[in-house]
Each structure stands twice: as structure tokens, then as C-alpha cells.
Amino acid sequence: MKTKKPTHGNTGKKYTTSFRLKKITSLGELRQLASTDILYERLAFVSAENLGWDGHKSASHARAVESAIAWLLLNAQETTEEGVVAEVNACRDLI
């Protein structure tokens, strides 16, 4: 998968140029990918919002990313991680 440096913002994160994000296998993997790739960061936001998270209004961007991941982990504790991972993977087309 090719990566480029972002041309916007000052995050310093890479973003994939592929039209299709690869499937994740765990929420830990999503956390790791979101820390280095802006599209996976967006995937965490969209997935968490799809599961009822409204923390995107957090004061800091970094705090919002951790809040989205925490929401996904909370959902995994209440249901199953496999179910939440399936939901995240289903949201890949929305990015």
C-alpha cells in the first residue's frame, strides 16, 4: 500500500492512497494504525459515531482520537470485540 505525506494540516501523519483500507483484526491494531495514518483515524471516528459516540466535539484532536478508541473498547466490553471489529470493517467504505 502506497503512502504519502499529508498536504493539509500539521499532523505529520501519513495517509493511504489505496481506495480500500485493509481490514483490521483487533481494536489494538486500529489504535496503532490510527496513530500513524489519518484515514484509519477517520475510520475510528466514523465507527465510534456509528455506535453512538458523540465525543468528536472534544477540545483537542488527540483527545478525540483516544476517546473514539475508548468508546469502541467500551462497546467491545459490553458485546464482543469481534462484533465491534466487524462494525469497524463495515465502515471502511464510508472513508
Q: Which residues of 28-64 are buried (b: 16+ CB within 10 A; e: fewer)?
A: eebbebbeebbbbbbbbbbbbbebebebeeeeeeeeb
Per-residue model confidence (pLDDT) at position 29: 98
Q: What is the dihedral of CA 28, 75, 82, 15, to 10 degrees?
A: -40
Q: What is the pTM of this model?
A: 0.77
Per-residue model confidence (pLDDT) at position 5: 46
Per-residue model confidence (pLDDT) at position 6: 45
Per-residue model confidence (pLDDT) at position 15: 53
Indicate the helix (H) or strand (E) that contains 14.
none
Taking only Cα atoms into account, the Rg of the chain, rounded to an integer number of angstroms, comes to 13
CA-closest candidate to residue 37, choices 70, 45, 78, 75: 45
Per-residue model confidence (pLDDT) at position 67: 94
**Which residue range forms the structural domain that includes residue 44?**
3-94
- Split into its structural domains, the chain has a count of 1
* Intervals of the chain under pLDDT 70: 1-19, 58-59
